[in-house]
Amino acid sequence: MPILPLFIIFGAALAATAVATGSPPMARVPASILLVLVLPGLSLTCAAFPSRVFGALERAVYGAGLSLVVVCVGGLALNATPWGLRSASWALLLGGVSVVGGIVALVRSRARPGELGGVRAGRLLTLRHVAPLSLAVLICMCAVGVSVVGANRQTYAPFTQAWILPDPSAGKNAMRVGLRSFERATMRYSAMLQVGTRTKRVWSPIELVPRARWQANVQLARVPAGTKATLLIYRLGRDRTPYRQVHLWLGG
């Protein structure tokens, strides 16, 4: 098997990984298709069968099938890791498999006269093979492109998230209170913690830029079972009544 096709796989895997992890969404679409449907399976096929002569259609089937196997198994593995199913982790996983497969194939390959990358002469894809494959790839690219554009254009009403959660590791009546801003501009807040009918804590001002968060830990003395703690959120200069309020029952 000539070494040149494996260098192409090796370089394409690195390029696709770089594009998929750091470029605009529309530039990532073709790279993502290569990473998901082509490169891992093609490099593993070359690594597993370095001297076997495939027809072009056979190589395409092996490449796509093994790529999907890598995606399925890799998805299960990534889901169990702290990195999760993120675009960067997917790109690094699939690109890494492609690179490792290409290196193994380079080590194992031995060129044979008359072969073109392990494809039999005279058994290349004909138009009746190429047409449906090209149409399928085009449909996939259009579908991914539409989904990316739609996700980028999706709008949402600005809001602020608030929470009050128990913190058993810090004590029986310990809690965490916090805010996260999904507003479109920097906002200033006032937060008030009420336990029963009494105000226990006040935090003001709390200034958050979009996507920023604020959190505080609170430890209360002994309280009767069933006491309700309430976190009241006000937007400074806007609200006379609470903008958000969340509750936690203590002493249970």
Q: Per-residue confidence at 217, pLDDT binned at 50, 70, 90?
A: very high
pTM over 0.85: no
Residues 57 and 105 in one domain: yes
Percent of the chain with pLDDT over 90: 20
Residues 16 and 124 in one domain: yes
Q: Per-residue confidence at 119, pLDDT binned at 50, 70, 90?
A: very low
Look up the domain containing 175 and give its range. 160-250
State pLDDT tens for residues 78-114.
Answer: 888 877 777 777 777 887 888 787 777 777 775 444 4
From 107, 130, 153, give the residue that closes a domain.
153
Residue 178 clears pLDDT 90, i.e. is over it: yes
Nearest to 120 by CA among 73, 53, 216: 53
Q: What type of residue is 23?
A: S
pLDDT top residue among 189 and 156: 189
Residues 10 and 84 in one domain: yes
Contacts of 44 (CB under 8 A, 6+ apart): 66, 70, 97, 101
- Predicted pLDDT of residue 104: 78
Structure tokens that stand for 118 in this block: 């392990």
Contact 39, 13 (CB under 8 A): yes
CATH code of the domain covering residue 213:
2.60.40.10
Q: What's the average model confidence in pLDDT over 219-229?
A: 84
Residue 132 clears pLDDT 60, i.e. is over it: no
Residues 148 and 222 in one domain: no
Total domain count, the chain: 2
Residues 246 and 121 in one domain: no
Residues 202 and 142 in one domain: no
pLDDT top residue among 242 and 34: 242
Residues 83 and 170 in one domain: no
Extended beta strands in the chain, E state: 160-166, 174-181, 187-195, 198-208, 213-219, 227-235, 244-250
- Predicted pLDDT of residue 142: 55
CA 250 → CA 121, 179, 229, distances in Å? 77, 20, 7
Residue 232 clears pLDDT 90, i.e. is over it: yes
Residues 203 and 221 in one domain: yes
Residues 148 and 165 in one domain: no
Helix, strand, or coil (residue 227): strand
Q: Per-residue confidence at 216, pLDDT binned at 50, 70, 90?
A: very high
Residues 66 and 143 in one domain: yes
Write out the H or E segment, with its range, that includes residue 239.
none
- Predicted pLDDT of residue 22: 61
Residue 117 clears pLDDT 60, i.e. is over it: no
From 153, 176, 206, give the residue that closes a domain.
153
pLDDT top residue among 130 and 83: 83
C-alpha span between 52 and 68 (Å, rounded): 22
Residues 50 and 102 in one domain: yes
From 121, 153, 185, give the residue that closes a domain.
153
Residue 206 clears pLDDT 90, i.e. is over it: yes
Q: Per-residue confidence at 120, pLDDT binned at 50, 70, 90?
A: very low
Residues 9 and 134 in one domain: yes
**Starting from the edge strand earliest in sequence, which strands make up the sheet with 198-208, in order?**
198-208, 187-195, 227-235, 244-250
Strongest mean pLDDT among 10-14, 50-54, 114-118:
50-54
